[in-house]
Amino acid sequence: MTRPYYIAGNWKMHKTRSEAAELAKSLVVQLKGGKHTYLVAPGFTCLETVGAIVKGSNILLGAQNMASEEQGAHTGEVSVLQLKDLGVQAVILGHSERRHTYKEDDELINKKVKLALRHGLEVILCIGELLSEREAGQAENVCETQTVKGLAGVSVSDLERVTLAYEPVWAIGTGKTATPEDADAIHAYVRGVIAKLYGKDAAEKIIIQYGGSVKAENAAQLMAKENIDGALVGGASLKADTFVPIALFG
Ligand code: PGA
């Protein structure tokens, strides 16, 4: 089956509102008519500004994280209700920076995944191994565990609103990219994990993005692979000049 390509920009902790607005305006113009699915995930403080600009365009509005509780005494957290209030349509969960710098574990991420889905959001669930885990031959195992635990309790119908993003931690922001062959092998393995959990149809349908130093120079080769259905782009998503060629590939 042919799956649609889904290309997302994770702006991380970059950009003030005026900088974010400038980038969003330029993307709306340049991605108009683009044939893939697009998303931008600005920082929380820029969501409202960017949301107003991408509204009615072919670019979805995403958040980079979300609290695991719906509301309450959680100083410094941002709730699913607040995100929805701003028009957010999707949320990136389990990003390696959340897992490793902020010590989020699979149980916490799973709670967030279920909460987001319960409130009608789409989810991009990130998985990926550390360099030490890859070198120890554990890449598949790590990705399997993160997938199984991250999706625990998610129904097959809710899975339709889940995208996976395979992001080997050693390739994020480092300029090192997995080879298209290595990345595709993990994507195929993870698709097999989804088949075991949800059946063949769901596995055929699920979109698995690749992330980790994706740029215009390597994007087309990565996405040409059978099991790579798009990209989650960090550094190269911060400028229209570097994101648009990735987004308009093919
Ligand atoms: P990068 O980030 O493209 O800068 O490597 C990817 C990500 O963290 O999603």
Residue 1 has pLDDT above 80, yes or no: no
213, 215, 218, 222, best to mutate for ligand 1 pocket (most atoms within 8 Å of CB): 213
CB 162 within 8 A of CB 125: yes
233 CB less than 6 Å from ligand 1? yes
Q: What pLDDT is recorded for position 238?
A: 98
User: What b/e string do you get for 21-36 counting C-beta neighbours within 10 Å, with b at 16 or more?
Assistant: bebbebbbebbeebeb
pLDDT of residue 177: 85
Query: What is the Å distance from ligand 1's center to 171 Cα?
Result: 8
Q: Write down the domain spans for the chain.
A: 6-247
Q: Which atom of ligand 1 is nearest to the CA of 126?
A: 9
DSSP 31-71: HTT-SSEEEEE--GGGHHHHHHHHTTSSEEEEES---SSSS
Nearest residue (by CA) to ligand 1, atom 2, is: 234
Tell me the per-residue pLDDT of 182-233, one tens digit each, with 9 for 90 and over.
999 999 999 999 999 999 999 999 999 999 999 999 999 999 999 999 999 9
Read off the pTM. 0.98
Half-sphere exposure of 155 (CA within 13 A, CB side): 5
* Mean pLDDT rounded to a whole number for the chain: 97
Catalytic hit among 122, 129, 167, 187? 167
The active-site residue, picked from 36, 95, 122, 129, is 95
* 17 pLDDT more than 80: yes
Active site residue 167: yes
Quick check: CB of 10 below 6 Å from ligand 1?
yes
Predicted confidence (pLDDT) per residue in 23-78, tens digit:
999 999 999 999 999 999 999 999 999 999 999 999 999 999 999 999 999 999 99
**Residue owning the nearest CA to atom 3 of ligand 1:** 234
Q: What pLDDT, in 10s, does the model give residues 86-131? A: 999 999 999 999 999 999 999 999 999 999 999 999 999 999 999 9
Is there a catalytic annotation at residue 104?
Answer: no
Task: Tell which atom from ligand 1 comes closest to the C-alpha of 211.
Answer: 6
Atom 9 (ligand 1): residue with closest C-alpha?
234
Q: Do residues 120 and 110 make contact, with C-beta atoms less than 8 angstroms apart? A: no
**CATH 3.20.20.70 given to domain 6-247:** yes
How far apart, in whole angstroms, are the C-alpha atoms of residue 66 and residue 248?
29
Would you say the CB of residue 211 lies under 6 angstroms from ligand 1?
A: yes
What are the tens digits of pLDDT across the range 131-173?
Answer: 999 999 999 999 999 999 999 999 999 999 999 999 999 999 8
Pocket of ligand 1 contains residue 42 by CB under 6 Å: no
CA-based nearest residue to 233, from 71, 154, 79, 217: 217
Q: What per-residue confidence (pLDDT) applies to 2?
A: 82
The Cα–Cα gap between 114 and 152 comes to 9
